[in-house]
Structure 1
């Protein structure tokens, strides 16, 4: 049964990115974040943004889905860059001076680098982590990275129940409105409803913990897994492509002389 289920799931994963192990995708996104944080320069962030975006599109991330998931980052990145441009470290020519606002060549360059770095980290991170199946990720974390099964399964259960919070919030709102206690004093109503949601979540968590303990989730001895987590050729390709993109980004910055380590200011 397990083998048949695995083959059926593999056929459903049509894109190369979906066929990779979620753990490899998680580690690849962390690698992008770490390397891009090491330096604040336009070249490395720009190269990582372009090559990383091309890699994700070629792997089947989906341009429309990626664009929709990137909307919060696209909104936040210019705001962060604007703050850096207005209040960042001053160097070079001063283009605008007004109170605490001092826009210079250095602050503009730093703002552009910050903008590209946020976009690059967002594109690579969201593109790699978007659409990951939580169950497959938990299987990989426990089997490949050898994380404690109790922690992994507890986190998976919490993630599965997270989607119920919205439904509970709506149900609480309707119940309070039916009882006539949701017509005035909006702030007080929201505080009371939030407390009710907290109580409901704690009760559900306790019931879930009891059910998991009754089913032997915390039992002694070795644990078996219904879905084995393995690494394949798609994972090797993703690791190699990530290494090449990051090497190209760092190499281009070093060749252009723009590599600016964070520790060196």
Structure 2
């Protein structure tokens, strides 16, 4: 049920994988920010090339990335289908004539820009969570970013519970099948069964979250007493260089697009 990895799958000894979790998160956010300012396909294309080139420095293999990022491919296909069916601007040369759904060069250019932007914005987040232990991230948010401990530890607990949703979904499906509740080849029944299973999963998640919140409060997570840390997270000079470097590269990519005359501001 999770979109990507919930545990680090990269080499922890890699150059950039060793950086502070807050530094990696800040670098990913600042690098992705310029991508939402333009509609041209060149800016996200260059950003995507840079991200893929830096992947070995994070200790992440391309094969592992391909296995973990498959939801992005599905999202890209969904964007392409949506643009072919509902695009308002169908300017350019007609490539495939489908009546009111003509596929033109303008439609494909717009779809390509959106798909590349989707990949370029999502990939830094994939890299961060693939190279960061969730506990280290929560500790770094509290110690370095001064985030409220209640928020950081609660987010960590929720993140740890995400893999359980997939197992619970499978358990609910098997339990319904054992009771003879099966949609067969009826698509309407399949939709109803999916909705019923999703509702049962939601109810179970809310109950588990309530129990977890009560248990955390019972253990003093909101007592207001200063907390100690088992893992000290330090923000060093290389971490600062990572953040500054991400801003510099993002600015250089944006300047390249503007210099080539292809910048299309979103506003």
TM-score per shorter chain, which class? 0.7 to 0.9
Question: TM-score by structure 1 length?
Answer: 0.78
**Does 2:25 match 1:21?**
no
* Structure-1 separation of matches of 2:84 and 2:199: 41
C-alpha offsets along residues 180-205 of structure 1, whole Å, 9 cap, x if unaligned? Answer: x6123556776666565555444433
Q: Note the 1:75-86 alignment, pairs <5 A.
A: 75-81=74-80, 83-84=82-83
C-alpha offsets along residues 57-87 of structure 1, whole Å, 9 cap, x if unaligned? Answer: 2332222212222222134324423543562
- Paired position in structure 2 for 1:36: 35
- Paired position in structure 2 for 1:182: 179
- Paired position in structure 1 for 2:3: none
* Structure-2 separation of matches of 1:105 and 1:164: 44
* Structure-1 separation of matches of 2:127 and 2:152: 23
* Residues 93 and 105 in structure 1, CA contact (< 8 A), matched pair in contact too: yes
Distance 1:256 1:199, change over 3 A: closer
- Paired position in structure 2 for 1:6: none
2:247 alignment partner, one of 240, 243, 254:
243
Question: TM-score by structure 2 length?
Answer: 0.77
User: What's the secondary structure of 2:230's corresponding residue?
Assistant: coil
* Residues 43 and 253 in structure 2, CA contact (< 8 A), matched pair in contact too: yes
Q: Note the 1:184-263 alignment, pairs <5 A.
A: 184=181, 186=183, 197-263=201-267
* Structure-1 separation of matches of 2:263 and 2:115: 16
Give the stretch that moved more between structures: 111-120 or 38-47.
Answer: 111-120
C-alpha offsets along residues 98-153 of structure 1, whole Å, 9 cap, x if unaligned? Answer: 53224444333323322322232233332233242111111122222222211222
Larger Rg: 1
The root-mean-square deviation of aligned C-alpha atoms, in Å, is 3.0
C-alpha offsets along residues 162-188 of structure 1, whole Å, 9 cap, x if unaligned? Answer: 3233344455566677xxx61235567
Q: Provide structure 2 residue ranges, at least 5 long, that are not aligned to the other structure.
A: 1-10, 184-188
**Does 2:152 match 1:155?**
no
Shift, 1:259, TM fit: 0.4
* Structure-2 separation of matches of 1:197 and 1:97: 43
Q: Provide structure 1 residue ranges, at least 5 long, that are not aligned to the other structure.
A: 1-11
- Paired position in structure 1 for 2:58: 59
- Paired position in structure 1 for 2:4: none
Distance 1:45 1:213, change over 3 A: closer
- Paired position in structure 2 for 1:116: 116
How many aligned residue pairs are there? 249
